[in-house]
Amino acid sequence: MSYLVNAISFLVDLAFGAAAALFVLRLLAEASRADFHNPLSQFIYRTTNPVLAPIRRVLPNWRRINVAALLLVWLLMLVKRIVLFALLGLFPHVLGLLVLSVADTLDFIAMFYVVLIFIWSLMSLFQVEGYHPVYRLAGGLVDPLLRPLRGKLTAGGLDFAPWAVMILLILARLLLVSPLTDLGARLALGV
């Protein structure tokens, strides 16, 4: 029976992760002012706008942060946790669920950036055409994180800023998100 639960948990995590990735892309594209003429940016906008437009009437952007997209990512993580606990036959406390979903949201965004920076670094290493839509979008999304370190961590013509940012993001996951996840799990299970 646990094998089936593991398989269903994987599929639930995959489905909610794919939906959350779209809204995180929308959130980051607006925050970094990514090129709207990029076909990928237009796809993300067209896909997410029917869901975000009604919410944005109530929750407008704060500076360049799309609060509606951030709220939807958090809600997706909350529903995912509820479904995963239900698969295990557990009924967690609400406060624990709320903390766990905040931790999951932060963890998802941090890992999303790590993967995005890694993909962008690989594409730049292999001299991908500068006008490629994926390269342009990824470059626009990672630029705000890399800009403070760009040119400061170079050696032998190589820029190590992407690797430094990835290390910082992984350390943030280990030192900030993991304790928050542990706290949420303790609160959820009443331990």
Confidence of residue 156 (pLDDT cuts 50, 70, 90): confident
**Owning domain of residue 70:** 2-189
Q: How many domains does the chain have?
A: 1
Instruction: Please write the tens of the pLDDT for every residue from 57-109.
Output: 999 988 889 999 999 999 999 999 999 999 999 999 999 999 999 999 999 99
Does pLDDT of 157 surpass 80? Answer: no
Torsion of CA 141, 143, 144, 147, to 10 degrees: 170
**Residue environment code for 86-116, b if the CB has 16+ CB neighbours within 10 A, otherwise e:** eeeeeebeeebbbbbbbbbbbbbbbebbbeb
Confidence of residue 158 (pLDDT cuts 50, 70, 90): confident
Please give the Cα distance from 15 to 11 (Å, whole number). Answer: 6
Instruction: Please write the tens of the pLDDT for every residue from 35-63.
Output: 888 899 999 999 999 999 999 999 998 88
pLDDT at 123: 87
This prediction has a pTM of 0.91
Average pLDDT of span 120-142: 85
Does pLDDT of 1 surpass 70? Answer: no
